[in-house]
Amino acid sequence: MPTPTRPRALPVLLWLAQSFIAISFAWAAWMKLTQPIAQLAAMWPWTGELPAPAVRLLGLVDLAGAVGIVLPALTGIRPGLTVPAAHGCMALQACALLFHASRGEWSVLPVNLVFFAVAAFVARQWRGRPASA
């Protein structure tokens, strides 16, 4: 049975989506892991209201998402791990949606929705790939 063909632009779009998530999450991780909490709170008020270790832990979660969404696919070593990494990014954004909604931070929700949708796209596209892709 022949395998279905994918549009030629799809691999490029997939890598752009993965790169978008990786760069954005890496930047957020860098900020949460290296900046003083007072400086972060000026940009993200919620960071000043959580314990500092929680903010730093979220930075590690962001870093894991950034690495996991691209490294397996980029190296070809266990590329199937890209799907669970994308699911993890989706879970992080779902939690962020609930957190910000509970605080009445409605203006942040579209950002979380975009990241959720892009991660879902990555998960969907990688799930349909052969294991050697």
pLDDT at 132 over 60: no
pLDDT grade for 3, boundaries at 50, 70 and 90: low
Distance CA 85, CA 46 (A): 25
pLDDT at 87 over 70: yes
**15 burial via Cβ count (<10 Å: 0-12, 13-18, 19+):** middle
Distance CA 79, CA 100 (A): 32
pLDDT at residue number 8: 75
- Stretch 57-75: mean pLDDT, rounded? 97
> Could you report the per-residue pLDDT of 19-60, keeping only the tens digit for each?
999 999 999 999 999 999 999 999 999 999 999 999 999 999
Contact 100, 66 (CB under 8 A): no
pTM of the model: 0.88
- CA distance between the termini of the chain: 19
- For 114, the token pair is 């975009």
pLDDT at residue number 133: 47
pLDDT at residue number 131: 52
Distance CA 62, CA 29 (A): 5
Q: Cα dihedral sign for 93, 96, 102, 105?
A: negative
